[in-house]
Amino acid sequence: MSIRITQLSVRDIRFPTSLSLDGSDAMNSAPDYSASYVVLHTDAPGGLEGHGLTFTIGRGNEICVAAVQSLAPMVVGLTLEEIVADMGAFWHTITVGDSQLRWLGPEKGVIHLATAAIVNAIWDLWAKNEGKPVWKLLADMTPEQVVRCLDFSYVTDVLTPEEAIALLRRQVPGKAQREAQMLREGYPGYTTAPGWLGYSEDKMRQLAREAVEDGWTHIKQKIGANLEDDIRRATILREEIGWERTLMMDANQVWGVDESVANMRRLAAFEPLWIEEPTSPDDILGHASIRQRIAPIGVASGEHCHNRVMFKQMFQAGALDFCQLDAARLGGLNEVLIVLLMAAKFNVPVCPHGGGVGLCEYVQNIALFDYIAVSASLHNRVLEYVDHLHEHFLDPVVIRRGRYMPPQRAGYSIEMTAETLERYQYPGGQVWLDIART
């Protein structure tokens, strides 16, 4: 029985996180974590819906909402059946099919963020219709079925459909075993909770102590505003977490290339596993240069890497030790999958970008599929966890002793509660009316 998408609605949802400096870093001093939140309505009996969101940090969310509205005619009226029959072709059409909208990117910035919200909502719809969480929907596919979801345009010089199938076939043995292992043990995570730049040193020390008590083995520090502060705060973190746990650092793009090298040479004494986003996310050759010059500190980037063509070059140039793809900066799960496969080919571990609002919910599905069916390795792989805003989801992430336990509910784990969607709507929801009044 075919299910038709009858309507797309989109909401501007914002959380006033800037009031507490949650999520503060050297580039983003006071974000209001926000979502352009899409619902695909269908004619299925029982009111089956697909939910998806793209993450922004406040002002400008209204622009993404406008972009979703402009893209809506490309999905309304389609059936789920015809979309998933050749989802690679569908993805190509939504990114390239309206050349007037494509011009605004192409495949980057606002229009690509908006595309991600819609594409991910389709995955949510598909998974709900199959009665599985997205990671399981993917894990149950044959290599050929996965590859049919992909658009290989602009990447065939490093990955052909045939190679992609071969990469996936390689890991078919052991899939069931790894799935059982994940259900039992969960996927290893790390926390940024103590590390936000806007937190006082006392608060940071306290949160680091709690993180250790909670079983976290990997902790990330935000740096980049002031080097002497960074050193002092790293000292506190090492005091609290010891040297047997792992410290990572994240500069959120504030440095130039040579500056990154100079600063990381100073911070090398704290033995960080990686420096994340040392410079412009577009600077592929810059990341490669930094990586060569600061080894053995690894270079991590990807949350602002806007499409598969950029990741392709990151891999070709040897620019990354860790690939931190984002579930909604890339044009939705289809593009994420092709990046997972390229990463596997180049032997770069994928540690997706979490945090924000909903990103942890999304990326647990990605990391689980990556382990079960693509990389089959946990070496150097940790999934970001930030302990904000999970209470707004119907199926929030479950963390046990620093590990993500696989979600069980059908869908992409991204559906917010009805109450949240009402209260946090911007600017008319009660939360924002209350703030405006004070």
Positions in the binding site for a second copy (CB under 8 A): 27-32, 56-60, 62-64, 66-67, 70, 96, 98-113, 153-157, 253, 256-259, 279-286, 289, 304, 306-307, 309-310, 312-313, 316-317
In the bound complex, what is the minimum distance in angstroms from residue 227's beta carbon to a second copy? 17
Cβ distance to a second copy smaller for residue 28 or 377? 28
Judge if the upstream peptide bond of residue 427 is cis by omega within 30 degrees of 0. Answer: yes
Q: Nearer Cβ to a second copy, position 11 or 312?
A: 312
Q: Residue 35 — φ and ψ, nearest 5°?
A: -145, 135
Which ranges of 45-174 does DSSP label H, i.e. alpha helix? 61-71, 80-85, 87-96, 99-102, 109-130, 134-139, 143-147, 161-170
User: 283 or 370, CB closer to a second copy?
Assistant: 283
Given the residues 108, 287, 306, 353, select the one marked as catalytic.
Answer: 353
* Burial environment of residue 418 by CB neighbours within 10 A (0 to 12, 13 to 18, 19 or more): exposed
* 54 versus 413: smaller Cβ distance to a second copy: 54
Judged by beta carbon, residue 104 or residue 398, the one nearer a second copy is 104
At closest approach, how far in Å is the CB of 185 from a second copy?
35
Report CA torsion sign: 357, 5, 407, 336: negative
Instruction: Name the residue among 25, 9, 5 with its Cα closest to residue 17.
Output: 25
User: Number of C-alpha atoms within 13 angstroms, CB side, residue 185?
Assistant: 12
φ, ψ of residue 253 in degrees (nearest 5)? 75, 15
Q: Least Å distance between CB 144 and a second copy?
A: 22
CB of 173 to a second copy, least distance (A): 32
Catalytic member of 112, 132, 220, 222: 222
Residue 386 in contact with residue 355, Cβ under 8 Å? yes
The yes-or-no answer on residue 353 being catalytic is yes
Closest to a second copy by CB, 76 or 104: 104
Which parts of 112-245 are beta strand (E)?
Answer: 187-191, 218-222
Minimum CB separation from a second copy for residue 181, in Å? 36
CA–centroid distance for 134 within its chain: 14
Instruction: Of 161, 219, 208, give the one whose Cα is nearest residue 342.
Output: 161
Supply 277's token pair.
Answer: 């986003």
Q: Closest distance between a second copy and the C-beta of residue 310, in Å?
A: 6
Distances (CA, A) of 350 to 64, 207, 268: 27, 26, 23
Residues catalogued as catalytic: 222, 353
